[in-house]
Copies of this chain bind each other. A is one copy, B any other.
Amino acid sequence: MTPGEIIYIDIIGTGNVATHLFRAFKRVGNNVDVSLVNPHTFEGKRFKTDFTIIAVKDDAITEVANRLTDYDCGIIAHTSGSTSLQVFESQINHFGVFYPLQTFSKDVKLDYSEIPFFIEASDKPSELALLKLASLISDKTMLADSDQRRALHVAAVFACNFTNHLIGLSNEILGAYSLPLESLKPLITETVRKAFFSLNPYMCQTGPAVRGDETTMNAHLKLLDIFPEMKDVYNILSNSIKHKHVSN
């Protein structure tokens, strides 16, 4: 990647990650030549590239990699948070992981410069090359081995998948009382802002559990009589909050 040199990138996939990466690299400029490749027909695949990024479902990565042996692929990398680097070990020389930690929707424009990219590679030169590649579209590139990537994935399940579900539960409660979910938006936006602004989110915990306010918690559980399945969630999370604040 010397100045003036063109970087050839093939991105294999039809989903949101492939589409977004393709768009992001398209915007870099004339020094990048990117092609979006159909994972079934390989339409769009070039015979010689610097990078081949496999952005398909986790369980299809190996199958796609196996069909790349006739191509001069450069460094081959997958984009999966929960697939190890070793998936490529048997058949490829230079390989890696090119993992953007974000949830992608087809029609939503994102600020790619803010998206963290986590890189792992088979060897130091490939590691450096993938870091440089990521830095073309993001200001937040870092190394992460497979254990760290798994930890990121688990942390994302807690902070994102579970949070989405909790907003879903809130929506049900509000709906039963003819209240719009929209009412909670400023509060949750400010809650998330505070949690990230603080050094430790536990420091800005609010609500009845951290205060040990059993009267309010019992009133809440009574209201949840019409949502019995939510009571377990309420109790486990309240206990977890109490536990952290007693032990901290």
Contact = CB atoms under 8 A, between A and B. Distances in A.
Contacts of A144: 179
A176 B189 CA distance: 27
A155 interface: yes
A160 B191 contact: yes
A173 B151 contact: yes
Interface string A95-125: 0000001110100101100111010000000
Contact of A159 (B102, B179, B187, B205): B187
A186 B112 CA distance: 10
B220 A186 contact: no
Contact of A186 (B102, B188, B240): B102
A206 B102 contact: no
A94 to B, nearest CB: 25
A200 B175 CA distance: 11
What's the number of copies of this chain in the assembled complex?
2
Interface residues of A, number: 86
A140 to B, nearest CB: 8
Given A168-B201, A233-B240, A184 B157 contact: no
Interface in A119-175: 140, 142, 144, 147-148, 150-171, 173-174
Given A185-B196, A195-B168, A243 B229 contact: yes
Interface of A: 82, 101-103, 105, 108, 110-111, 114-116, 118, 140, 142, 144, 147-148, 150-171, 173-174, 176-179, 181-192, 194-196, 200-202, 204-210, 216, 219-220, 223-224, 229-230, 232-234, 236-237, 240-241, 243-244
